[in-house]
Amino acid sequence: MKKRIILSLAVVTALTLFLVACSKKAEETAEQPAETTTAPQPTPIDQSTVGEVTGKVSFEGAKPKPHRIMMDQDPVCVQKHSGPVFAEDDEVNSNGTLPNVFVYVKSGAEKYVFAPPSEPVTLDQDGCMYKPHVLGVMVGQTLKIISSDATTHNIHPMPMDNREWNMSQAPGAAPIEQKFTREEVMIPTKCNQHPWMRAYIGVLKTPFYAVTGSDGTYTVKGLPPGDYTIGAWTAIGGGKGQTQEQNVTVGAKETKTADFTFKAPS
């Protein structure tokens, strides 16, 4: 009997000591900086070896009929324009190329870590149109939304993989600053006040993207030598979006060409 009591006491003592030790350890752990929450260090890239991918995005077939935008519901919007306004989704450049094509490294750069740039990407609302119509931003980079209009806008990105939000911006209000946490190509963005307003935002973990302009060309710069899949996205023909891709191998200091040709969806 006595032996059993002594044994039980020993067990209780051991258990108590163990619990005290555990709680102390927990305290120590809590005081340490949480290493898992710090951002991973950017991958060093040898700038003397980087190459680029460049090309032209052409349009083939019958051009989509320009879709005229009627802004009559808001006189402030109408006043900003001297002539008719057409939807940018269906625009084809005079040289037969496409503007507003988002060209980007779709795969091949996963092993690199990039810090988002500290400077924001600006999206303006001007004449009740988004400027630019198509833009890229990096995960964690600030998207700064400004307004040049004397009317209230309500910006509303409609993502599949990021958090959805909408925010009103009255004339003269402070810029709206938002970040995206996940890669997503593309996020259609609308204005809840003016149903014709449309922008498309491409969110990437890398800085490897470009948007074609009035000559239909693009250049994705700063690529470390390697194998890449280049994606090209366009809203031509109603804004639903079409994508194409091509594989390219970029050698040290090399410039590779990847041209794309899109048709209007039938």
CB of 125 to Cu ion, least distance (A): 6
**Residue 59 is encoded by which pair of tokens?**
């349009």
CB of 200 to Cu ion, least distance (A): 16
CB of 193 to Cu ion, least distance (A): 4
| Burial of 51: CB neighbours in 10 Å, binned 0-12, 13-18, 19+ | buried
Of 254, 244, 252, whose CA–CA distance to 101 is shortest? 244
Mark the segment that binds Cu ion (CB under 5 A) among 85-93, 191-199, 200-208, 253-261: 191-199
| Burial of 184: CB neighbours in 10 Å, binned 0-12, 13-18, 19+ | middle
d(CA 107, CA 111): 10
Q: With binding defined as CB under 5 A, does residue 256 bind Cu ion? A: no
Mark the segment that binds Cu ion (CB under 5 A) among 13-21, 166-174, 184-192, 225-233: 184-192
CB of 128 to Cu ion, least distance (A): 5
**Nearer to Cu ion (CB atom), residue 153 or residue 256:** 153
CB 139 within 8 A of CB 183: yes
d(CA 146, CA 131): 10
Q: With binding defined as CB under 5 A, does residue 80 bind Cu ion? A: no
Site string for Cu ion, 55-74 (x = CB under 5 A): --------------------
In 194-232, which positions are buried (b, 16+ CB within 10 angstroms) versus exposed (e)? bebbbbbbbbbbbbbbbbbeeebbbebeebbeeebebbb
Q: With binding defined as CB under 5 A, does residue 191 bind Cu ion? A: yes
CB of 146 to Cu ion, least distance (A): 13
Write out the E strands in 7-164.
51-60, 68-69, 85-86, 102-107, 121-126, 129-131, 134-138, 143-147, 153-157
Q: With binding defined as CB under 5 A, does residue 194 bind Cu ion? A: yes
**Nearer to Cu ion (CB atom), residue 129 or residue 258:** 129
Cα 11 to the chain's mean position, in Å? 59
Q: Which of residues 93-152 bind Cu ion (CB under 5 A)?
A: none
Q: With binding defined as CB under 5 A, does residue 190 bind Cu ion? A: no
Q: With binding defined as CB under 5 A, does residue 193 bind Cu ion? A: yes
Mark the segment that binds Cu ion (CB under 5 A) among 54-62, 110-118, 187-195, 215-223: 187-195
Residues that bind Cu ion (CB under 5 A): 153, 191, 193-194, 197
